[in-house]
């Protein structure tokens, strides 16, 4: 089958090998060399939807790739040529009843990796956007995920514990999200949930006509507007940039900090601004829910960053899982402080900031950074918003321009009340429950049944340490038992037995 053709598998192998060599900072492996920045981008584009989406996730990993590669990865868009006419006809005929339209334009206005968008007019004259899924894209994506996971098993043993887990997280999250994205039924569900939850946000969303939608087509209201990054069009329409960027940052602060339910793909093609200066959000294939523990860790990181409390910042990053539990506290605090100093320096140009940041990152390659699944799209969204900000504001960056807005939203994120009276009433209401919980803890302590909860990251660290310790201990005892066995079977091998026993004993003492 074409999805599993030897040529395609070979191209995917070369792509993954390039990722491996670049992450490990190796110039070659046997006679293979990593693809150059432009070759890498071209290879990803040729492989199509799955790998474009994967590259967009990897584009957040400044700890994996040098600046030249990151620039190419960030410039990757999933804009592809439209479907062939015969493929379009197959999808159109099996997914849409043409009688619902008074007019349908067969030339798409946008063509991405998963689907393409056409303009249509319903019988009552309503202008609609019709999103058609690409022909056989589901089969292509499923086969790509299988190939990707199979080949990754070849490279997995060659990575360090932390890098291995990060890459595993990237692949797992990418696979999960792209499978959601190719389900148009799920996208309609996401759109309706999102529009309901953020009905009072001041941001506009399209309306789905559910009676005409299925897993291959979405029919929704057509939203008129300029692309967010169309600077000239916005300037010509006399629309002020700064309030729109503030609105975008405020809206994402509400999504990620307050509700824990956010749109994970706010690239310029999915963000429009209408002639009234209102923000419009499109495409709900990638919507994520953040676990409460992750949301609290992010809130603490923002609070710590605002107060320059680097110790709290590092401990919160450990709870989030971005930094390994056993990472050296002092080195991590020094790293964080240097990065904050760079990005809060107004005298530096955007290019200078980036160059200095890469120098600092280069010096920390051996520190145990990780990337849990929950953090992947949070980082991606942050990077996209920062990139959009730099389109309009010179030296725009997350610390100087975004952090104060996020900090302002923390009271709401933590359930803060509008007035002091409401806060006092809530505290009084909670007092009996607090006393009850305190009595329970004291009782458990007296009875020797007090339980201590460990975070997932702490458990992972303990598991890793126990595994390494038990492996070393088992090997030591194996040497000692082999020595005894040899001596009992063949006393003439006494010298060899003593040497083996000594190796096992020394190894046991040394490892413990």
Highest mean pLDDT among 34-38, 46-50, 324-328, 430-434: 34-38
Q: Is the pLDDT assigned to residue 364 strictly greater than 90?
A: no
CA 83 to each of CA 18, 48, 91, 112, 508: distance values in angstroms, whole numbers, following the listed order: 30, 13, 10, 10, 64
Task: Name which of 186, 417, 148 is nearest 289 in CA terms.
Answer: 186
* Average pLDDT over every residue of 366-384: 68
283, 184 contact by CB (below 8 A): no
pLDDT at 118: 96
- Specify the DSSP class assigned to residue 210: G
Instruction: Tell me how far apart the alpha carbons of residues 100 and 212 are, in angstroms, rounded to a whole number.
Output: 8
Continuous segment of H or E residues that includes residue 111: strand 110-111
The CATH class of 81-135+183-222 is: alpha beta
pLDDT in tens, 86-110: 999 999 999 999 999 999 999 999 8
- Specify the DSSP class assigned to residue 267: -
155, 34 contact by CB (below 8 A): no
Q: How confident is the model at residue 429 (pLDDT cuts 50, 70, 90)?
A: low
Q: Is the pLDDT assigned to residue 297 strictly greater than 90?
A: no
Conformational region of residue 308, where left means phi above 0, alpha means psi within -120 to 50, and beta covers everything else: left
What average pLDDT does the chain have? 79
pLDDT at 347: 72
pLDDT at 365: 59
* Average pLDDT over every residue of 282-306: 85
Phi, psi of 391 (to 5 degrees): -65, -35
Q: How confident is the model at residue 423 (pLDDT cuts 50, 70, 90)?
A: very low
217-221 and 226-227 strand pairing: unpaired
Instruction: Tell me how far apart the alpha carbons of residues 336 and 369 are, in angstroms, rounded to a whole number.
Output: 12
Q: Which residues contact 115 (CB under 8 A, 6 or more apart)?
A: 131, 132, 133, 134, 137, 184
Q: How many CB atoms lie within 10 A of CB 84?
A: 10
Instruction: Tell me how far apart the alpha carbons of residues 62 and 24 are, in angstroms, rounded to a whole number.
Output: 13
pLDDT in tens, 16-66: 888 888 877 778 877 788 899 899 999 988 888 888 888 877 776 666 777
Q: How confident is the model at residue 408 (pLDDT cuts 50, 70, 90)?
A: confident
Residue 114, Cβ density class (10 Å: 0-12 exposed, 13-18 middle, ≥19 buried) = buried
How many H helices and E strands in the chain?
19, 10
CA 495 to each of CA 122, 251, 386, 508: distance values in angstroms, whole numbers, following the listed order: 92, 75, 68, 20
Q: Which three-class secondary structure state does DSSP give residue 511?
A: helix
Picking from 182-191, 224-233, 369-378, 457-466, which range would have the lowest pLDDT averaged per residue? 457-466
69, 22 contact by CB (below 8 A): yes
**Of all residues in the chain, what percent carry a pLDDT higher than 90?**
21
Q: Is the pLDDT assigned to residue 275 strictly greater than 80?
A: yes
Q: Which residues contact 228 (CB under 8 A, 6 or more apart)?
A: 244, 248, 268, 271, 272, 273, 388, 391
Picking from 208-222, 313-327, 458-472, which range would have the lowest pLDDT averaged per residue? 458-472
pLDDT in tens, 470-486: 666 777 777 777 777 77
CA-CA-CA-CA torsion for 359, 362, 364, 365, nearest 10 degrees? 170
| Six token digits for residue 149 | 């996971």
Give the chain's end-to-end CA distance (angstroms, integer).
54
98, 104 contact by CB (below 8 A): yes
> How long, in residues, is the chain?
512
pLDDT at 165: 55
What's the pTM?
A: 0.72
pLDDT at 430: 54
pLDDT at 217: 96
Picking from 243-247, 286-290, 314-318, which range would have the lowest pLDDT averaged per residue? 314-318
Picking from 252-261, 309-318, 338-347, which range would have the lowest pLDDT averaged per residue? 338-347
Task: Name which of 224, 155, 221, 214 is nearest 185 in CA terms.
Answer: 214
Instruction: Tell me how far apart the alpha carbons of residues 314 and 294 are, in angstroms, rounded to a whole number.
Output: 14
CA 21 to each of CA 16, 34, 131: distance values in angstroms, whole numbers, following the listed order: 9, 6, 39
Task: Name which of 59, 11, 28 is nearest 376 in CA terms.
Answer: 59
Residue 338, Cβ density class (10 Å: 0-12 exposed, 13-18 middle, ≥19 buried) = middle
Task: Name which of 7, 3, 30 is nearest 17 in CA terms.
Answer: 30
Give me the long-range contacts of 10-17 (CB less than 8 A, separation at least 24). Answer: 11/43, 11/46, 11/47, 12/47, 12/51, 12/144, 12/147, 12/148, 12/151, 13/151, 14/43, 15/40, 15/43, 15/44, 15/47, 15/51, 16/148, 16/151, 16/152, 16/155, 17/155
Task: Name which of 207, 14, 65, 53 is nearest 128 in CA terms.
Answer: 207
314, 332 contact by CB (below 8 A): yes
pLDDT in tens, 119-141: 999 999 999 999 999 999 999 89
pLDDT in tens, 151-203: 877 777 666 555 555 567 677 777 888 888 899 999 999 999 999 999 999 89
Phi, psi of 466 (to 5 degrees): -65, -40
Task: Name which of 289, 279, 281 is nearest 259 in CA terms.
Answer: 289
């Amino acid at each position: 089958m074409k999805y599993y053709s030897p040529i395609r598998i070979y191209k995917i192998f070369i792509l993954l090998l390039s990722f491996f060599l670049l992450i490990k900072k190796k110039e070659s492996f046997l006679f293979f060399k990593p693809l150059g920045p432009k070759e890498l981008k071209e290879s990803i584009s040729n492989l199509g939807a799955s790998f474009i989406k994967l590259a967009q996730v990897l584009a957040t990993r400044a700890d994996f790739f040098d600046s030249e590669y990151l620039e190419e990865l960030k410039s990757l868009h999933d804009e592809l040529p439209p479907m062939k006419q015969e493929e379009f006809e197959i999808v159109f005929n099996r997914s849409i009843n043409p009688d619902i339209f008074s007019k349908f334009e067969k030339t798409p206005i946008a063509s991405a990796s998963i689907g393409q968008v056409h303009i249509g007019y319903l019988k009552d004259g309503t202008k609609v956007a019709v999103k058609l899924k690409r022909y056989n894209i589901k089969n292509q994506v499923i086969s790509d995920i299988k190939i990707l996971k199979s080949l990754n098993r070849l490279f997995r043993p060659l990575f360090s514990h932390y890098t291995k887990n990060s890459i595993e997280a990237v692949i797992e999250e990418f696979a999960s999200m792209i499978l959601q994205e190719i389900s148009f039924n799920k996208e309609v569900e996401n759109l309706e949930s999102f529009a309901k939850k953020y009905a009072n946000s001041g941001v506009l969303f399209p309306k789905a006509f559910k009676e005409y939608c299925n897993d291959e087509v979405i029919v929704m209201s057509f939203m008129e507007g300029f692309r967010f990054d169309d600077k000239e069009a916005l300037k010509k329409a006399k629309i002020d940039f700064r309030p729109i960027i503030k609105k975008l940052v405020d809206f994402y602060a509400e999504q990620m900090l307050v509700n824990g339910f956010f749109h994970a793909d706010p690239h310029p093609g999915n963000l429009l601004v209408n002639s009234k200066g209102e923000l419009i959000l499109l495409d709900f294939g990638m919507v994520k829910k953040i676990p409460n523990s992750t949301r609290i860790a992010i809130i603490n990181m923002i609070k710590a960053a605002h107060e320059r409390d680097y110790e709290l910042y590092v401990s919160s990053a450990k709870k989030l899982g971005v930094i390994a539990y056993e990472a050296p506290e002092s080195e991590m605090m020094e790293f964080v402080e240097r990065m904050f100093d760079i990005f809060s320096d107004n005298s530096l140009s955007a290019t200078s900031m980036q160059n200095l940041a890469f120098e600092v990152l280069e010096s920390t390659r051996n520190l145990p950074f990780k990337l849990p699944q929950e953090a992947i799209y949070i980082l991606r969204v942050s990077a996209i918003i920062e990139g959009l900000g730099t389109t309009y504001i010179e030296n725009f960056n997350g610390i100087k321009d975004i952090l104060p807005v996020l900090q302002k939203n923390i009271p709401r994120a933590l359930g803060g009340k509008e007035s002091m009276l409401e806060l006092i009433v809530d505290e009084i209401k909670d007092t009996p429950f607090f006393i009850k919980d305190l009595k329970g803890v004291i009782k458990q302590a007296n009875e020797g049944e007090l339980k201590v909860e460990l975070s997932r990251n702490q458990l992972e660290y303990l598991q890793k340490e126990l595994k390494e310790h038990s492996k070393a201990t088992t090997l030591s005892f194996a040497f000692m038992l082999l020595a005894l066995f040899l001596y009992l079977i063949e006393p003439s091998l006494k010298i060899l037995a003593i040497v083996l026993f000594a190796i096992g004993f020394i190894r046991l003492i040394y490892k413990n």
